[in-house]
Amino acid sequence: MTSVPEIQIADGVRIPQLGFGVYQVPPEATEEAVTTALEVGYRHIDTAQMYGNEQGVGDALKASGLNRDEVFVTSKLNNGFHRRDAALRAAEQSVERLGGPMDLFLIHWPLPTIDVDYLETWQAMIEIRDAGLTRAIGVSNFQIPHLERIIAETGVTPAVNQIEVHPYLTNEAVRAYDAEHGIATEAWSPIAQGAVLGDPTIAAIAERLGRTTAQVTLRWHVQRGDIVFPKSVTRSRVEENFQLFDFELTDEDVRAIAALNRDHRTGPDPDTFDYIPA
C-alpha cells in the first residue's frame, strides 16, 4: 500500500496531500462512493454544503468503523450563508450531518460582487473555529486582493486556499501568494474534469513511465506541493488515482506539463461568480 504524505496546515493540523472529492456525486450515491474510497485507502474527503451530499459522507464514515480522527474531512460554507448568524448555523448543520467536528471548513466562494462582505464571513469563520466546530479554517476561490484584505483586517491567515489548478490553468500568481503567506494550495479539478487526459505531452510522459495520464497529472500536482482530491465513482479509477507515490516525474517533466498552461478555466471566474442557491 502506498502511503500518502501529510502537509501541516495549521497548529497541530496535518492534511493528507491526496484525498477524494465528491463534487457532482449524487446524494444517494455518496455513501457508497466514499465507502469505496475508504476501502481503497483514502483518508481525506472533500465535500461542501453546496454538493448536498454531506449526509452521505457522514454515513460512510460512521459505517466504516474508522475512528473519526483517522479521516480528514473538509466541507465548505454555501454561498447563501455569508452573513455571520447564517454561517454559524450552517456550520453547526454540517457538523451534525458529518457526525462530528470538521477538520477544515472553507468559504466556498468570495462573491466579491455581492452585497454581503466576505470579511464578515471570514470573521464568522474565526468564531466557528474558536467554537470547536472545525479544527482549521480556510477559503476557496479567493484571489490575491481577497486574501490580502481578510488577512490585513483580521490578522488571521487562512490555512488553505482551494482554487482551480491543472495543466491548462496553472494559476501561478495565486499559488505564489499562498506559498509566501504559509497558505497551503488545494488544486480543484486537478485533471480539468478529464480535459487534460488526452494531452499529447502528458501522454508521452505517461507512456515512458508506464502510467496513465491521470496518474501523471496528479503526480505533477503532488510534486509541486499542492493538495489534490480527484473525483470518480468508478472503483478502478479510484484505485488508479491513489497510486501516485511509487513513481516520480523528472524536473523536466514537471516543467513541460506546467508549460501547457493556457489560462483555461473549466469552472467560474471567482471575480464575477455570484450564484446563490435557492
Residues of this chain that bind ligand NAD (CB under 6 A): 21-23, 46, 108, 140-141, 162, 188-194, 197, 214, 229-232, 237, 240-241, 267
* Ramachandran sector of residue 113 (left: φ over 0; alpha: ψ -120 to 50; beta: rest): alpha
Closest approach of ligand NAD to the CB of residue 215, in Å: 7
Residue at 61: amino acid letter: L
Q: Which helix (H) or strand (E) holds 13?
A: strand 13-16
**CB pairs under 8 A, 24+ apart, for 95-101?**
95/133, 97/54, 97/55, 97/57, 97/58, 98/47, 98/54, 98/57, 98/58, 98/61, 98/73, 99/58, 99/61, 99/62, 99/68, 100/68, 101/132, 101/133, 101/134, 101/135
Which entry of 23, 42, 51, 275 is annotated as an active-site residue? Answer: 51
Q: Which helix (H) or strand (E) holds 137?
A: strand 134-140
Question: By beta-carbon distance, which residue lies closest to ligand NAD?
Answer: 21
Separation of first and last alpha carbons in the chain: 44
Percentages (nearest 5) of helix, strand, coil residues in the chain: 45, 15, 40
Closer to ligand NAD at the Cβ: 23 or 252? 23
Closest approach of ligand NAD to the CB of residue 63, in Å: 21
Closer to ligand NAD at the Cβ: 103 or 240? 240
Closer to ligand NAD at the Cβ: 128 or 238? 238
φ/ψ of 126, rounded to 5, equals -65, -40
Residue 52 C-alpha cell reads as: 448536498
**What's the sign of the alpha-carbon dihedral 187, 189, 195, 198?**
positive
Closer to ligand NAD at the Cβ: 116 or 155? 116
Closest approach of ligand NAD to the CB of residue 268, in Å: 8
Determine contact, residues 4/18, Cβ cutoff 8 Å: yes
Instruction: Confirm whether 23 is a catalytic residue.
Output: no
Helix axes 200-209, 213-223, angle to 10 degrees: 90
Bridge partners, 72 (sequence order): 44
Closer to ligand NAD at the Cβ: 16 or 230? 230
Residue 245 C-alpha cell reads as: 507515490
Closer to ligand NAD at the Cβ: 12 or 16? 16
Catalytic positions are 51
